[in-house]
């Protein structure tokens, strides 16, 4: 059923959890667990949407001078 656990083992675990936390606290735990799973799914799907968006490329024109040209100009001035 659930991997190495049989139906009886899962039932015993659920009864122990119910005894430890009580019915009121168990509802809160289920609610917070559901919210956590929902937030995790939203985060994962949000990341997938961001990676699937088309990317924008920009080009920038940069002026450069070579080091040799600068050395030549420096030698001419001295």
pLDDT digits 0-9 by tens, 4-56: 878 889 899 888 988 888 888 888 888 998 999 999 998 888 776 666 666 67
Q: Say if 69 falls within a structural domain.
A: yes
Residues 6+ apart with CB under 8 A from 33: none
Both structure tokens of 16: 């122990």
Asked, for residue 62, whether it belongs to a domain, the answer is yes
- Does 2 map to a domain? no
pLDDT at 72 over 80: no
Indicate the pTM of the whole model: 0.42
Structural domain containing residue 73:
7-77
Q: For position 12, what pLDDT does the model report?
A: 92
Indicate whether 1 belongs to any domain.
no
Question: Positive or negative, the Cα torsion across 11, 16, 22, 25?
Answer: negative
Residue 22 lies in a domain: yes
Task: Judge whether 48 lies within some domain.
Answer: yes
Domain count, the chain: 1
Answer yes or no: is 37 within a domain.
yes
């Amino acid at each position: 059923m659930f991997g190495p656990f049989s139906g009886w083992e899962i039932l015993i675990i659920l009864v122990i959890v119910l005894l430890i936390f009580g019915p009121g606290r168990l509802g809160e735990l289920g609610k917070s667990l559901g919210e956590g799973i929902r937030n995790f799914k939203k985060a994962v799907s949000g990341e997938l949407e961001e990676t699937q968006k088309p990317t924008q490329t920009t080009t920038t024109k940069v002026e450069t001078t070579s080091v040799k040209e600068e050395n030549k100009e420096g030698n001419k001035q001295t």
